[in-house]
Structure 1
Amino acid sequence: MVRAWYMDSSDVDQRLEHHREPPKFVSLDNLFAVTGVEYFEINHLDYETDTTLKKLREDRGYTYEDEITCSKKCLQNYEEKLKNFFTEHLHTDEEIRLVLDGSGYFDVRDKNDQWIRIEVTPGDLIIIPSGIYHRFTLDTNNYIKAKRYFVGEPVWLPYNRPADNMECRKQYLQQLLQGFETPSF
């Protein structure tokens, strides 16, 4: 089950942060309210038949999927890729990840531009909205295996901060002001 908490604003990759007690946990409802990040629990051992995942894929039009394994053994240019993942950025499409094995952290900015760290483990599916500043890092296990879902062919381009003039960013900020609609699950 996913956990989320506020963290400091350091740019240092804080993989060891989980060794001390996080200062302020964030409920899933509050995480959604202040960021638009959605969470779903999926049967990762049999995700092909999971009804929640099936409904998400149908309702949102996820037609393309692939799998990524982040580890020194499996990922070419491992250190460079991790550095790129940890650089604060946004995407023009939402980012959907289902953790199959291992663990890691997604950091997202809340409505006050503060970092919230989201710890993901097997069975956690998170949807990070288009236009939100975020980053990813592994924890001390240095390993995660995840499914990635896309509407149509994947768009792999991260736009590093600042990217405030992008249309997806403006739309995200407008949604943040108006409030996000609760998912129909």
Structure 2
Amino acid sequence: MVKIYYYKEDDSPMTAPHDSGEPVAAEELEKLGVFYKYIDSQASVDNLATERQYKNRDYITLDGATFPGGEEALNAKLDVFFNEHIHEDEEIRYIIDGTGYFDVRDNNDRWVRTLVEKYDLLILPAGIYHRFTLTDDKFVKALRLFKDEPKWVALNRIDGNTESNEFRKEYFASLSS
């Protein structure tokens, strides 16, 4: 079963669990617009992709042992992924192997951490503040799905332009409906 909890702010590395001991129910993720499902067959993933009209896909492997440029380059990439940001498209990840953490902001601006493992599928709505990192194992292989052409534009919250973004506004409006 998926592990979801409030993120504990401390000085440990981002790849540490940061488990506050305060669990979060999967229903709370749903209220934030986050879709989670355990899917143990590629056919079921393909069916979901068809249902949700995902037209493109690719695979990503993040591995401390084989990442181009070595572990230092992987850590630099993780620093980018860990910057709080939004996308103007859904972010869909199906974990084929390995583990990672997706953090999303709740309505009280607290981080909610979800440990994703093999066969976990997570869909983050456009406009939600989030970030990603690996676990201390520093390995994940994931399928990424896209509604259209793969588009990777992260709008970082720290830049100050996200609150006026139309997708952020639409996401925020969806929470009150």
Equivalent residue runs for 1:157-172 within 5 Å = 157-161=153-157, 162=160, 163-172=162-171
Would you identify which runs of 4 or more consecutive aligned residues in structure 1 move more than 6 Å?
none
Separation in 1, partners of 2:163, 2:48 = 29
Instruction: Identify the residue that residue 52 of structure 2 maps to in structure 1.
Output: 60
TM-score under structure 1 length normalisation: 0.86
Q: Does 1:81 align with 2:80?
A: no
Q: 3-state DSSP class of the match of 2:128?
A: coil
CA drift of 1:54 comes to 3.1
Equivalent residue runs for 1:1-185 within 5 Å = 1-9=1-9, 13-17=13-17, 22-33=20-31, 35-43=32-40, 46-47=41-42, 49-50=43-44, 53-76=45-68, 77-161=73-157, 162=160, 163-178=162-177
Give the conservation status (yes or no) of the 8 Å contact 2:5–2:22: yes
Give the conservation status (yes or no) of the 8 Å contact 2:34–2:123: yes
* Corresponding pairs, count: 170
Give the conservation status (yes or no) of the 8 Å contact 1:13–1:86: no
CA drift of 1:58 comes to 1.6
What root-mean-square deviation, in Å, do the aligned CA atoms of Structure 1 and Structure 2 show? 1.7
Tell which deviates more after alignment, 55-64 or 92-101. Answer: 55-64
Separation in 2, partners of 1:124, 1:155 = 22
TM-score under structure 2 length normalisation: 0.89
Superposed CA deviations along residues 22-46 of structure 1, whole A, max 9, x for unmatched, are 421111112211x211101111xx4
Give the conservation status (yes or no) of the 8 Å contact 1:107–1:118: yes
Return closer, same or farther for 1:147/1:16 CA change in 2, 3 Å cut-off.
same
Structure 1 gaps, min length 5: 179-185
Separation in 2, partners of 1:68, 1:87 = 19
CA drift of 1:56 comes to 1.9
CA drift of 1:111 comes to 1.0
Which residue identity lines up with residue 120 of structure 1 in the other structure? V
CA drift of 1:12 comes to 6.6
Which residue identity lines up with residue 168 of structure 1 in the other structure? F
Give the conservation status (yes or no) of the 8 Å contact 1:97–1:147: yes
